Amino acid sequence: MKVAVVGATGMVGKVMLKILEERNFPVSELIPVASERSVGKEISFKGKSYTIVSLADAVEMKPAIALFSAGGETSKQWAPRFADAGTTVIDNSSQWRMVDTIPLIVPEINADILTVNDKIIANPNCSTIQLVMVLNPLHKKYGIKRIVVSTYQSVTGTGKDAVDQLEGEIKGETPTKVYPYQIFKNALPHCDVFDEETGYTKEELKLTLEPKKIMRVDAMNITATAVRVPVQGGHSEAVNIEFEKDFNVVDVQRLLSEQEGIVVQDNPDTNNYPMPIYAEGKDDVFVGRIRRDFSQRNSLNLWIVADNLRKGAATNTIQIAEYLVENKLIKL
């Protein structure tokens, strides 16, 4: 199976290559794709060297699957061209997520909607993925009325230049600023750009819109505040949920612990709770601090952490590809 990785030299692209290897995805020929300045260079995959090619050349090579992580403009221009050539595109950008005809997929939740005719498939926002992994089973049992989510997002969500800014500031240097302010010893309530009409950032709007599409629920109110923090290991979320039905906290813990891809870490007696430093490099979504909100009827507080480069991006993308292969939805 020919597999193209578009954005192979970027942070997510590199993790995609690592996970393809870790999970032994059936790659017969890898087609690494990157910007023009990287074309002709080589990368290593499963002990072999592969030459980076251009987008135009990759289309001509007709891969079965193209995993995109190269930004919205690249996806807007090139994903349809790959699709027209018969390639199934799984895209990490926000370009296609809210397009009605494009499936937005978290495999544990809604992969069942995929068909052989879906040639462009959207991978959700990293913060959305870890959120819906926890929300979905709870909604099925108790019915969610309203969600208030506050995120504490790693600089890796912005990219390598943001990591360089943080590392430079830690060393006392004056690096090029990706953020409008210093990120070291700071917290910025500013993820992505501000939407003039609402005053929310685009990241916050993604969190309010994407879960409804993934979970196939219209009547669910969500509001979000997204904050960038000086962390490299993953994203964290403080979530308050109001349910239609009452619940027992022990039952909630048990329900979540039974879900594929979720690990419950929730023992205050031993200071056992999710943290980015432990989630880094792992594919699971970690949840803890599960407790009743005594200020509001049928309401719950919890804390969710995941590695945003893995389950929040690369792993989820490859899980979609695995589902397509396993269910014979890819034309080889």
pLDDT tens per residue across span 21-73: 999 999 999 999 999 999 999 999 999 999 999 999 999 999 999 999 999 99
Which residue in 63, 68, 75, 136 sits closest to 106, CA to CA? 136
pLDDT of 205 > 80? The answer is yes
Tokens representing 115 are 């068909």
Please state the CATH superfamily assignment of the domain spanning residues 127-308 in this structure: Dihydrodipicolinate Reductase; domain 2 (3.30.360.10)
pLDDT of 332 > 80? The answer is no
pLDDT band at 331 (very low <50, low <70, confident <90, very high): confident
**Rounded CA gap, 273 and 289, in Å?**
6
Please state the CATH superfamily assignment of the domain spanning residues 2-124+313-326 in this structure: NAD(P)-binding Rossmann-like Domain (3.40.50.720)
pLDDT of 304 > 90? The answer is yes
The dihedral over CA atoms of 186, 191, 192, 194, expressed in degrees to the nearest 10, equals: -100
Domains 2-124+313-326 and 127-308 belong to one CATH topology: no
DSSP 3-state assignment of 186? coil
**Rounded CA gap, 305 and 314, in Å?**
16
Tokens representing 299 are 């309401």
pLDDT band at 296 (very low <50, low <70, confident <90, very high): very high
Element (H, E) at 32: strand 29-33
Neighbours of 204 (CB within 10 A): 25
Quick one: average pLDDT of 225-247? Answer: 97
Question: What percent of the chain is predicted at pLDDT more than 70?
Answer: 100
Match 């040639």 to its residue by tokens.
Answer: 119
β-strand 29-33 against 2-6: which pairing, if any? parallel
Domain map (residue ranges) of the chain:
2-124+313-326, 127-308
Residues that are catalytic: 126, 235
